Amino acid sequence: MKGYMSAKIRMNTEYRNKFYNRIKDVFEKEETQEQQAFMQAREDFNTEQKFTFSIVKEVVERSYPKEDVATLRTFKKKYGKPCDVVAKDKCFYFAHQEDVNDEGEKEETKSHFDFGLYGNLNGSEYSSEDTDHFAHAYFREELKEKGCNPDIIAQQSGKDSNPHKTKHVDMCNKALGKDSSSRYSDNDNGIGLTKDFNAPFYCDVIGTSHCRSRAIACTKDEYQQFEEWRMIKAKVVSTHQTWINSIMKQCDQLKIGLKAYRYLSEGIELASELGIKVDEAELIKTNSTGLTIYNPTNLANMIKGMKNKNQTREDKIKARMEYQKQSVN
């Protein structure tokens, strides 16, 4: 009887929105290859962050021995501000001189490395959108629980800055406790999750300028490890972007398909084809030319093909043949 009712009930904007939101929620929660790649990238980063920082600590303490740090702190207590030259830092300039130029002369290779939540991904002291993207992706679940949209930067990729994007980016940063007053990526006034993330990654550094910008000497192997760590951090951003792109492609097709449906039963059939249970009675509580390509079975197959992209060639051929067969029928 319920199926008969839905076959007679015409689609409207309210029903389309209900189907869209219900199915989109499943897209975001299901375990696809893209989602798993992102989750793995975060796990890899956590491991690499701890390992690489252990090397950072050795390098920093080699340049600034604990005994010297202790002595200078004693001087500060005795002489005050003129001897205030020791501070805890989580960003560092590292350099090695093991490369040579075309003339056979040694040359310095140097970059800035920031181990904070909003630390750069490109060697710059200054904040960029990538630093926000990483922070939001890293704490994605926590931000979702706070009612924020941690995917906003990925969703708006390639678009100009706009009030909608700015609003959601600011909400995420505020929820994470980012210090918005600083233009530097290494600001140390964060609170909440930002402060908790940063806490284990400080070293005592001697110097008086911002970021203690005098380069700290390291070996080429150590420097390469720091660069590898930065690439692994960047992979969190790139895999998150890929995952969100796959969800957005599915959602774009979903919108087009739902717009073409004339009856509630078509939406229910689509959800069923996607393996999603929809309560018809609940839908009922709370028009276009139905093209063949958007019949529920075909649309479901199209959407499924927009994720798990590393299918084998045989899988792709099989899926295409099934799709063509259903299109003919």
Closest CA to 270 of 33, 36, 28, 26: 26
Q: Is the pLDDT of residue 40 over 70?
A: yes
CA distance 279 to 191: 43
Q: What is the structure's pLDDT at 125?
A: 79
pLDDT for the residue 207:
83
Cα 69 to Cα 328: distance, rounded to the nearest angstrom = 77
> pLDDT digit string (tens) for 152-189?
999 999 999 999 999 999 999 999 999 876 555 445 66
- For range 137-143, the mean pLDDT: 97
Q: What is the pairing mode between strands 216-217 and 91-100?
A: parallel
Q: Which residue has the tokens 């002489």?
A: 79
Per-residue model confidence (pLDDT) at position 225:
98
Q: CB of 96 within 8 A of CB of 223?
A: yes
| Calpha distance 75→228 (Å, rounded) | 38
Q: Going by C-beta distance under 8 Å and a sequence separation of 6 or more, which residues neighbour residue 87?
A: 204, 205, 207, 212
3-state secondary structure (DSSP) of residue 106: strand
Residue 280: per-residue pLDDT: 76
* Contact present, 205 and 64 (Cβ < 8 Å): yes
At residue 106, the pLDDT reads 86
Exposure pattern of 56-70 as b/e (b: 16+ CB <10 Å)? beebbeebbeeeebe
Residue type, 312: T
Residue type, 260: A
Q: How far apart are the first and last CA of the chain?
A: 27
**pLDDT, tens digit, for every residue of 235-278?**
999 999 999 999 999 999 999 999 999 998 899 899 899 888 88
Backbone angles phi, psi at 96, to 5 degrees: -130, 160
Q: Where residue 291 falls among pLDDT bands split at 50, 70, 90?
A: very low
Query: What kind and span of H or E run contains 111?
Result: strand 106-114
pLDDT of 295? 53
Q: What are phi and psi of 321, to 5 degrees?
A: -65, -40
Q: Is the pLDDT of residue 20 over 50?
A: yes
Assigned token pair, 139:
């704490």
3-class state of residue 263 by DSSP: strand
Structure tokens at 210: 């911002």
In the predicted structure, residue 74 carries a pLDDT above the cut 80: yes
Q: Which amino acid is at 218?
A: C
How high is the pLDDT of residue 1? 46
pTM: 0.80
In this structure, what token pair is assigned to residue 242? 């890929």
3-state secondary structure of 81: helix
Mean pLDDT of the chain: 85
The burial of 152, by beta-carbon neighbours within 10 Å (0-12 exposed, 13-18 middle, 19 or more buried), is given as: buried
Alpha carbons 163 and 197: distance in angstroms, whole number: 29
**Range in 243-252, 274-283, 292-301 the model is least confident about:** 292-301
